[in-house]
Structure 1
Amino acid sequence: MPMLTPSSAPATTAAHRVGVIDMARGMALLAMAVYHGSWDLTYLGLADFDLFGDPLWLAARTGILGSFLMLSGLSLTLAAAGGIDRRRFLRRFALLVLAAGGVSAVSMVMFPDSPIFFGVLHHMAVASLLGLALLRLPWPALLLLGVAVIAIGRTVALPLFDEPWLRWIGLMSFEPESNDYVPLFPWFGGFLFGMALGRLWRPGPARTPGGAVGRGFAWAGRHSLAVYLLHQPILFGLLSAVAMGIGADPADVRSFQTSCVATCIAGGGEVAHCTATCRCVSDDLNRAGLWSDFIHDRLSADSAHKVDGVIQSCGSR
C-alpha cells in the first residue's frame, strides 16, 4: 500500500482533472439526473418508464454507474502519482461515509420497503479504501482483476451471502429490495478499469474547458458530491408538486388500485363499483394519514380498526 503523504499531486495532474475528468464527471451527473428524473416521473404517476425491465434503461443505468466508478478509479490513480494528500483523502472519505449514511437514513424513512443500504456512495467509500491497497499493481493486473470481479459478480450466487451483513458483497442468491444497490461484485470491476486507465494515461498540458457548457460540466464535476446529494430532492420535490397539482397517482397508489380492483372483481363485484370503492379507500386513507402505515403493513391495532372502518364505509357507498 502506498504511503499517505501530506504532499499533493503534481499541479499538471490537478489542472488536467479540472479540464477533462471533472467535465466527464459533470456529463455523467447530467445523465444520472435524467435517469433519476425518469424514476421520479414513473413513481409519481407522471410517466410510465419501464426502468427495471427495458433493456435500454438497464443499459443506461449500467453505463451511468460504470462511468462514475471508472472516473473514481482513474482519479485515485492519477492523484497517487505524486503521493496521496492524506488530509484530502481522509476528508473525502469521511464525507462519502457521512453522505452514504444520510442517504440510508432518509431512504429508510421514505422507502422502508426498499431502503438504500449499499448504494453508489457506500460503494465509492469502500472502493477508495480497496483501491489504496491495489495502487502498486500494473495496469494489466488491474484490468484482469476487474474482469474477474465482474465475472464472479455475474456468475456466483451463494446462500452464504444472503445474510444481511454480507449483502454489500453482492454474491447473494437473490436481488434485494433496494432503490440503489451497487454491491462490490460486480461493480468494483468498473473502479478497477478506471485505475488501469490511470496507469496508462499520461496527462498532457492543462487546458480549461471551452465555452459555458464545458465550464458548467467541469464545475458540476468538481462539486459532484454536493450535486449528487441535492439534485434528487430538488427533482423529486418539484415533480411531486406537479403530480399533486394535476392529481396524478403515485406508484404505490396505482399498485393498490390495480390489486384492489382485481380482488373485488374476482369476488363478484362490478367493475364500476370496484373501481369507485378502491379509489375511495385510497383517498380516505390518505386524508386520514393512514396510507403509509397501511401500504407498508405497519398498522397498530387502533389504526387497523380505523382502516376497517374506512373500507366498510367506502364499500357501502
Structure 2
Amino acid sequence: MKKSSIERFWEIDFLRGIAIIMMVLYHLLYNLHYFAHYNINVYSGFWMYFARATATIFIFLVGVSISISFSRTKNISSDTKEARLFLKYLRRGLKVFSWGLIITLVTWVFLREGFVIFGILHLIGISIILAYPFLKLRYWNLLIGLFCLFLGAYLKGFVFNFYWLSWLGFRPAQFYSVDYFPLLPWFGLVLIGIFFGNLLYPDYSRKFQLANFSSFSVIKIFCFLGKHSLFIYLIHQPLIIALLYFFGMAKINLF
C-alpha cells in the first residue's frame, strides 16, 4: 500500500535544527573576530572542530534526506519515470547551487579577499545532482563514501598551481576562502548519509523504534528551524552583521 501523504521524520528536522543553532553561534563568533576584531580563535582548536562538526551534521543529513526523498517518491508512485525523477533532483540541486552563486557574488563585492568560490551551498547543490546515480547502490555508498573521504584527506596534503579544480579538492597555493567545501572529501559524507538513509529509512519507513517527542515545545522549535534551514542560512549572516553595525561593534570598508 502506497502512502498518499508526505510524512516528515521529526528526528531529521530536529538534528538539522541543532546544526542551525550551532552554525549561527559559530558565525556570530566568526563575525566578532573578522569584523569587530575580537580576539577569538575561530581557525583552530575547539571552535574549528565545532565548525567542522556543524558542517558534518548538515552534509550527512543531506545524504539521509536525499535517500528518504527518493524512497518517498518511489513509495507514492512506483511508475515514476527515471528521467522525471532525475529532473526533480536536477532542479532542486540547481536551485541550491544558484543560491551559492549569489553568495559568491555578494562576498566578492563586499569581501574581495577570501570570497566564497565553492562553499557549502555549492557543495549541497552539486551533491543533490551527482547523488542521483548512487541512490540505488545502497551499501556500496558506504565504501565509495569512505574512499572519497580518504582521497580528500590525501589531497589536503598537497597544493597545486592551478585554480580550475579547486571545487574538486585540488587546493591552490596561497588559497583562502571564508567558506570552502570541495567535493572531495565532502561528497563522500553525502554518500555515507545516503547509505544510512537507506539502512535506517528503507521504503520510506523508520526501521527502528523511536518515541514521538515532536509535540514537546522545545523539540518543535528545533524542528521548525530544521524545516527552514535554507532560509535561515541565507539570512543569518546579513542579520548578524547588521546587528554588529547597529551596536557599533563592527566596521567594514566595502571598497
Question: What TM-score do the two structures reach when normalised by structure 2?
Answer: 0.83
Instruction: Identify which of 199, 216, 229 aligns with 2:221.
Output: 216
Aligned Cα RMSD in Å? 2.5
**Residues 1:127 and 2:117 are matched in the alignment:** no
Instruction: Identify which of 22, 27, 37 aligns with 2:28.
Output: 37
Q: Distance in 2 between matches of 1:178 and 1:78?
A: 32
Q: Distance in 1 between matches of 2:254 and 2:240?
A: 22
| Contact 1:16 1:206 survives alignment (8 Å) | no
- CA separation of 1:11 and 1:23: change in aligned 2, threshold 3 A: farther
Amino acid at match of 2:63: G
**Residues 1:172 and 2:171 are matched in the alignment:** yes
- CA separation of 1:228 and 1:10: change in aligned 2, threshold 3 A: farther
| Contact 1:71 1:194 survives alignment (8 Å) | yes
Structure with the larger RCO, 1 or 2 (CA within 8 Å, 6+ apart): 2
| Contact 1:15 1:206 survives alignment (8 Å) | no
Q: Distance in 1 between matches of 2:124 and 2:230?
A: 11
Structure 2 residues not aligned, in runs of 5+: 75-83
> How far apart are residue 151 of structure 1 and its match?
1.0
Q: Distance in 2 between matches of 1:175 and 1:186?
A: 20
Q: 1:99: which partner in 2? A: 99
Structure with more of its chain in helix, by fraction: 1
> How far apart are residue 92 of structure 1 and its match?
2.6
Q: 2:81: which partner in 1? A: none
- CA separation of 1:175 and 1:130: change in aligned 2, threshold 3 A: farther
- CA separation of 1:228 and 1:249: change in aligned 2, threshold 3 A: closer
Q: Match of 2:132, SS?
A: helix
Amino acid at match of 2:168: I
Amino acid at match of 1:109: V
1:261-292 C-alpha deviation (Å, 9 max, x unpaired): xxxxxxxxxxxxxxxxxxxxxxxxxxxxxx65
Instruction: Identify which of 40, 56, 65 aligns with 1:66.
Output: 56
- CA separation of 1:249 and 1:107: change in aligned 2, threshold 3 A: closer
- CA separation of 1:11 and 1:29: change in aligned 2, threshold 3 A: farther
Amino acid at match of 1:103: I
Amino acid at match of 1:56: F
**Residues 1:240 and 2:230 are matched in the alignment:** no
Name the % identity.
Answer: 27
Q: Distance in 1 between matches of 2:212 and 2:193?
A: 21
- CA separation of 1:151 and 1:90: change in aligned 2, threshold 3 A: closer
Question: What TM-score do the two structures reach when normalised by structure 1?
Answer: 0.68
- CA separation of 1:104 and 1:10: change in aligned 2, threshold 3 A: farther
> How far apart are residue 102 of structure 1 and its match?
1.0
Q: 1:193-212 to 2 correspondence within 5 Å? A: 193-202=192-201, 203-204=205-206, 207=212, 209-212=214-217
Q: Distance in 1 between matches of 2:18 and 2:166?
A: 30
Amino acid at match of 1:63: A
| Contact 1:44 1:240 survives alignment (8 Å) | no
Q: 2:183: which partner in 1? A: 184
Q: Match of 1:15, SS?
A: coil
Q: Distance in 1 between matches of 2:12 and 2:174?
A: 32
Q: 1:52-91 to 2 correspondence within 5 Å? A: 52-53=43-44, 55-83=45-73, 86=85, 89-91=89-91
Amino acid at match of 1:41: L
> How far apart are residue 90 of structure 1 and its match?
4.5
Q: Distance in 1 between matches of 2:231 and 2:166?
A: 27
Amino acid at match of 2:33: T
- CA separation of 1:153 and 1:56: change in aligned 2, threshold 3 A: same
1:187-223 C-alpha deviation (Å, 9 max, x unpaired): 1121111111011103338946122221111112111
Q: Distance in 1 between matches of 2:151 and 2:108?
A: 30
Higher Cα radius of gyration: 1
Q: Match of 1:168, SS?
A: coil
Amino acid at match of 1:45: A
